[in-house]
Structure 1
Amino acid sequence: MTLPRLTKGGIKTGTFVKTASAQVIEILGLSRLDFAVIDAEHAPFDRLTLDTMTIASVAVGLPLFVRIPEPTAAVVLTTLDLGVAGLLVPHVDTAEQARDIVAMTRHRGGRRGFSGSPRFAGYGTKPMAKALDAGETAFLMCQIESAEAVENAAAIAAVDGVDGLFVGYADLSLSMGLENPQDPRVTAAAARVFEIGRAAGKTVGMFIGSAAERDRYAALGVDWFVVSSDQTLLRQAADAVCPPLA
């Protein structure tokens, strides 16, 4: 899959998709978003639904990532075979875990099973070598969302095949025994990750609730933003057309 929206330089903006609908992807593809992330960790998606949503993403040229529910070989294989742009993998705490996940994504030198029949390989139209090349292009973002992961962030970023670090503020705060993602101790830990990611030449990402937060974090080197979700954006748009409450 060619990804023109992701090949240009600068800050990239996407949103989480929590609704099992190909039409949602079609509509977002008509927006100025650079990508979308299906949240299969916190919302219900089966393999067939992911497939139809990926078809929609290809049709509108919107790069589609999947936040997978767990980093198992079967989940990684079936998701990448659909031809998605990349994976957002939650709870990557160590470099050893990161290396294992990378191995799951790779045919050459890894543990990803190969078939030339899925979408990523052109439904059997690509010679094996070219299909293997296509299998190497998926973008891998590792979520740093525990105190342990922050300590190991430099080692995780150094793993060949890890393309970016994504800070999960909510789980990071809980890991630190806190219940406020904006606690200064959490933001300081996140800033360490941002600095480590930039120094390693990796993409640095995070979730934000609104576009207003983007400039503040962009100044810290964050360049891959997941803003809100399709459900929240829909609710906010609906509220915006209603008269103020008395």
Structure 2
Amino acid sequence: MFNAAMKHKLEAGEVVFGSFFKFDSAPMAELFGLSGFDFLIIDAEHGCYTHAGIENIVRTCELVGMSSVVRTPDAAEANILHVLDSGASGIQVPSLKSAAEVREVIARAKYWPIGERGSARGCRAAAYGLSGADYEARANRDTLVSVHVENKEMVADVEALCTVEHLDVLFIGPGDLSQSLGHPGNAGHPDVVAAIDRVIEVAAGRKHIGTVVSNAEQLRAYVERGVKYIAWQSDLVMVRNMLKAAVANFAPYRAA
């Protein structure tokens, strides 16, 4: 019962567009899909979600033809298993520091013969046991695995990352990367830019590359360099900016 449309678009060479999703709100998720987004990254690392809340957002994404990727809190087996059993289209795992750790993620996300994911067809992903005998093979084929490249260790190991089988996306996190390199909050620092350049140069044509963008200029620059998995801001940022713009209309009518 997982929507693999976004992964199939990536594999066909298309650029896909999503957003980080922090509000546990099914109507808002529905609106993203109706507005034309390809996927949401449900943020269980920084957002406030229960397992049931994640499953409801995943279900909502499917209802509007949108894929759902869950940014897990970490690489723990239970966290990966829960979100994939809920029917998420994929996972996006933060805080890793080596290709060896990424291989452990693959093992937890994929069924035999690729990995060691716990098998229980009585879950939503397997249509509660009604999915058919080929469920595990389809899950192995269609589940997207993305990992964050957000620290200097992962940048240094990017060559090895590109050799990890069944890893789909290297997601560049400029904010965390700036902190790891000693320039917190300054994603435009030459050290951070050089690290991002290295990831793109090494991974181009070998892995799908993703990142987060906040404006049209960034979007154009990354797409021109072959970045195809794009997170446009987040629901929180978009709502905040919309509310600030609305409040700006009130300013002339408020007492000094």
After TM superposition, the score normalised by the length of structure 1 is: 0.93
Q: 1:229 aligns with which of 218, 231, 234?
A: 234
- 1:193 paired with 2:199, answer yes
Taking the aligned partners of 2:225 and 2:217, their CA distance within structure 1 comes to: 15
Superimposed CA distance per residue, residues 45-75 of structure 1 (whole angstroms, 9 cap, x where no aligned partner): 1101011111111111110111000101111
Structure-2 change in CA distance of 1:119 and 1:238 (3 Å): same
Superimposed CA distance per residue, residues 117-146 of structure 1 (whole angstroms, 9 cap, x where no aligned partner): 112112111233x11123212101111111
Q: 1:70 aligns with which of 67, 74, 90?
A: 74
Amino acid at match of 1:184: P
Question: Comparing 191-200 with 165-174, which one deviates more in the overlay?
Answer: 191-200
Taking the aligned partners of 2:137 and 2:192, their CA distance within structure 1 comes to: 39
Conserved in 2, the CA contact under 8 Å of 1:164 and 1:197? no
Conserved in 2, the CA contact under 8 Å of 1:67 and 1:88? yes
SS in 1 for 2:112: coil
- 1:113 paired with 2:114, answer no
Shift of 1:244: 7.2
Taking the aligned partners of 1:135 and 1:32, their CA distance within structure 2 comes to: 25
Taking the aligned partners of 2:191 and 2:89, their CA distance within structure 1 comes to: 33
Provide the residue aligned with 1:184 in structure 2.
Answer: 190
Superimposed CA distance per residue, residues 62-100 of structure 1 (whole angstroms, 9 cap, x where no aligned partner): 101110001011111111001111111112221110110
Provide the residue aligned with 2:146 in structure 1.
Answer: 141
| Gap runs ≥5 in structure 1 | none
- 1:20 paired with 2:15, answer no
Shift of 1:5: 4.8
Question: Comparing 8-17 with 72-81, which one deviates more in the overlay?
Answer: 8-17
Conserved in 2, the CA contact under 8 Å of 1:211 and 1:227? no
Taking the aligned partners of 1:31 and 1:211, their CA distance within structure 2 comes to: 18
Conserved in 2, the CA contact under 8 Å of 1:121 and 1:134? no
Superimposed CA distance per residue, residues 128-179 of structure 1 (whole angstroms, 9 cap, x where no aligned partner): 3x11123212101111111111010111121001101011111111111112
Conserved in 1, the CA contact under 8 Å of 2:150 and 2:177? yes
SS in 2 for 1:122: helix
Shift of 1:212: 3.3
Provide the residue aligned with 1:4 in structure 2.
Answer: 5
Structure-2 change in CA distance of 1:79 and 1:2 (3 Å): closer
Amino acid at match of 2:91: L
Structure-2 change in CA distance of 1:206 and 1:185 (3 Å): same
- 1:96 paired with 2:97, answer no
Superimposed CA distance per residue, residues 184-229 of structure 1 (whole angstroms, 9 cap, x where no aligned partner): 11011111111222141x1100112223310012222211111111
Amino acid at match of 2:45: E
State the superposition RMSD in angstroms: 1.6
Taking the aligned partners of 2:3 and 2:234, their CA distance within structure 1 comes to: 24
SS in 2 for 1:162: coil
Taking the aligned partners of 1:245 and 1:12, their CA distance within structure 2 comes to: 38
Taking the aligned partners of 1:199 and 1:148, their CA distance within structure 2 comes to: 22
SS in 1 for 2:49: coil
Q: 1:81 aligns with which of 74, 85, 89?
A: 85
